[in-house]
Amino acid sequence: MEVMIGLEVHCQLDTKSKLFCSDSTDHHGKPPNADTCPICLGFPGSKPKVNKKAIDYAIMIGMALNCKIAERMWFSRKTYFYPDLPKNFQITQYEVPVASDGYLNVGSSRIRIRRVHIEEDPARLVHMGGDITSAEYVLIDYNRSGTPLAEIVTEPDFKNTKDVRAFLQKLASMLEHLGVYDSSEEGSLRIDANVSIEGGERVEVKNISGFENVEKALNYEIVRQNGMRRMEVEVERETRHFDAESRTTKSLRKKETEDEYGYIFEPDLPEIHINGNWMENVRSAMPELPDQRVARFVREYGLTDYSAGVIVYTDKRLADFFEGCCRIYGRPAEVANWTINYLLKSLNWRSERIGASKVREETFVELLQMIDSGEITERYAKELIKEYVDSGESPRKIVGMEGDGGAAPLEEAVAKVAAENRAAVEELRAGKGEVMGFLIGRVLAETGKRGDPKAIREAIMNYLNGPEAGMPR
């Protein structure tokens, strides 16, 4: 069965102020409708002004997605009535998006990017006593109104939902690496998923948050459309809504076409010219991207492409966590193994992302050191890690080993570690700096990880220069 899927991804850009006014985009601890002004409430006579940061961010996204950047562009009014849109039109880009004709490789597939454009987010509707199809009444919060969005539109290049998932993860990781989006903000990435089968009409499932939900919505649609085909009922072009509770999609409306929105040029905003200088400034501010980071992980830490990919494409914070652990504990292969095969599984099982979890570099490393020093068996560690992810407690505390006797004095611990690892000490003496991390890790394990790696490094150097170091093996 031939499946075709195309995505429209709306990413809230993490700017301080809104797209066309200076209201804050940070509404934490504020009541609904606190961050509003005549511009984002669409009062007659109010005049929008473009936030340049949002354009910078969109150019960055375009570059990272291998797109062509428009040299000149403008904004348009997309006209429709809906309570979340007080002006009766949304300021968006239609004829000329900021970026177009790019691609993103996921695994062995290349997904073409049709366009990236900038638009304003409408207000947030809160459906009371039901969902969008059944609510008794609706509340409107205009705090969100005017938040900058980048809409990323793919060509219908996906043939299965597995690739969709991989694409979304990689894209989100990329956006996080670019620093243009805050993944901890709920609903900061919202997806419209278009799907057709066997060359039939396509159905658009609108406004899905969460990658798992995108997959569920698409799987449901594929089964539904396939069923219709078998019963020889024609699939009509329509817009549907995904209901996360029943895991089904429901019809919202027969799909309108783009020209029905009656786009017109936005006369209150100037045409924007993106010259070479502007492009260069953005390009030079581009941070390391996921693909580059994967290559570096392979080079620097000796990971396989596969492991590096899992760590970097799953989540930027997972990649940061991995590097943080390696700084404390110089055994990247072990960090990667336990991260991918056990930590990530426990997190996934809890549907939790590392940034929102109780997992910390210091405590995770402690667990690895306990395995390493033989304090616990690997088999036991696999059980322990679940409890650790649950509670975030120090693994040593969970096991009940901590507390008695306190930490060994640093010099004593260094001497003990050195005596147990003569070969490593010799390598270090011979100038192989790489073993330093390993020795520090050992000393940390000895001292109940209370040591400061810098102080330990010093103590190890002192030891090397001291009389004891010369002891016969």
- The span from the CA of 212 to the CA of 292, in Å, is 27
Q: Count residues binding ligand ADP (CB under 6 A).
A: 14
Q: How far is the CB of 3 from ligand ADP (least distance, A)?
A: 8
Closest to ligand ADP by CB, 145 vs 154, is 154
For the chain, what percentages of helix, strand and coil (3-state, to nearest 5) are there?
40, 20, 35
Closest to ligand ADP by CB, 7 vs 58, is 7
Q: Work out whether strand 189-197 and strand 3-12 pair parallel, antiparallel, or are unpaired.
A: antiparallel
Q: How far is the CB of 258 from ligand ADP (least distance, A)?
A: 4
Question: Is residue 214 at the binding interface for ligand ADP, with CB under 6 A as the rule?
Answer: no
Q: How far is the CB of 363 from ligand ADP (least distance, A)?
A: 43
Q: How far is the CB of 154 from ligand ADP (least distance, A)?
A: 5
Q: How far is the CB of 188 from ligand ADP (least distance, A)?
A: 20
Please answer whether residues 261 and 245 qualify as being in contact, where contact means their C-beta atoms are separated by less than 8 angstroms. no
Among positions 166, 180, 195, 343, the unique one binding ligand ADP when judged by CB under 6 A? 195
Instruction: Tell me the one-letter amino acid at 333.
Output: A
Closest to ligand ADP by CB, 188 vs 196, is 196
First to last CA, the chain: 69
Q: Which residue is nearest to ligand ADP (CB)?
A: 6
- The span from the CA of 54 to the CA of 285, in Å, is 14
Q: How far is the CB of 253 from ligand ADP (least distance, A)?
A: 13
Closest to ligand ADP by CB, 168 vs 368, is 168
Question: Is residue 171 at the binding interface for ligand ADP, with CB under 6 A as the rule?
Answer: no
SS3 assignment, position 66: coil
Please answer whether residues 258 and 230 qualify as being in contact, where contact means their C-beta atoms are separated by less than 8 angstroms. no
Among positions 232, 258, 259, 404, the unique one binding ligand ADP when judged by CB under 6 A? 258
Beta-carbon contacts of 248 under 8 Å, excluding residues fewer than 6 positions away, are: 220, 242
Residue span 3-42 as binding mask against ligand ADP, x where in contact by CB under 6 A, dash where not: -xxxxx----------------------------------
Please answer whether residues 148 and 12 qualify as being in contact, where contact means their C-beta atoms are separated by less than 8 angstroms. yes
Q: How far is CA 386 from the centre of its chain?
A: 23
Alpha helices (H) in 12-75, listed in sequence order: 52-64
Closest to ligand ADP by CB, 253 vs 429, is 253
Q: How far is the CB of 243 from ligand ADP (least distance, A)?
A: 21
SS3 assignment, position 207: strand
- The span from the CA of 131 to the CA of 241, in Å, is 10
Question: Is residue 196 at the binding interface for ligand ADP, with CB under 6 A as the rule?
Answer: yes
- The span from the CA of 146 to the CA of 136, in Å, is 26
Question: Is residue 202 at the binding interface for ligand ADP, with CB under 6 A as the rule?
Answer: yes
Closest to ligand ADP by CB, 4 vs 50, is 4
- The span from the CA of 270 to the CA of 265, in Å, is 10
Q: How far is CA 195 from the centre of its chain?
A: 24
Q: How far is the CB of 156 from ligand ADP (least distance, A)?
A: 4
Question: Where in 134-163 is the site for ligand ADP (CB under 6 A)?
Answer: 153-156
The contact set with ligand ADP (CB under 6 A) reads 4-8, 153-156, 194-196, 202, 258
